[in-house]
Amino acid sequence: PASAGFTTDLHSLGQWIQDAERSIFQTILDVEQAVSPQIQKQDNDGDGLNFLAGRSVHDVNRVALEATRKAHGEGGVPSLRISIPAIDEFNLGSLFYFFEYACGVSAYSLGVNPFDQPGVEAYKKSMFRMLGKPGYEI
């Protein structure tokens, strides 16, 4: 799995997700309640964002999430949306369990045993040989 922190990654990974080959599956994590500052109006409006004054950063991020989800959906990006009420121990623990379980299920569905690592052994043997570990000589 790879992660993209939106809105930060919308211009880099977001472009790849939107227009690249469909070899990925997008999971959108939506936090319903977030502590978020309110955007203040700036005297000079140098960044042109004064139209956002009075809104919370969370509100702007939710709109960005919806716009991204809509664009990616129209672009054919397969996705799953998971909503949690808040970022806390219970919800994070539930997410960790969900993703661990999903990783195992998806590996099995691709014919890969997620609990055996034959693909990893090649680099480990090479590394041990290069480091001079006894029993791994050429």
**CATH of 1-86 given 3.40.50.920, 3.40.50.10490, 3.40.630.30, 3.50.30.40:** 3.40.50.10490
pLDDT value of residue 50: 96
Q: What is the mean pLDDT of residues 13-40?
A: 82
Report the C-alpha gap between 31 and 45 in whole angstroms.
30
pLDDT tens readout for residues 40-66: 999 999 999 999 999 999 899 889 889
Looking at every residue in the chain, the average pLDDT score rounds to 88
pLDDT value of residue 5: 74
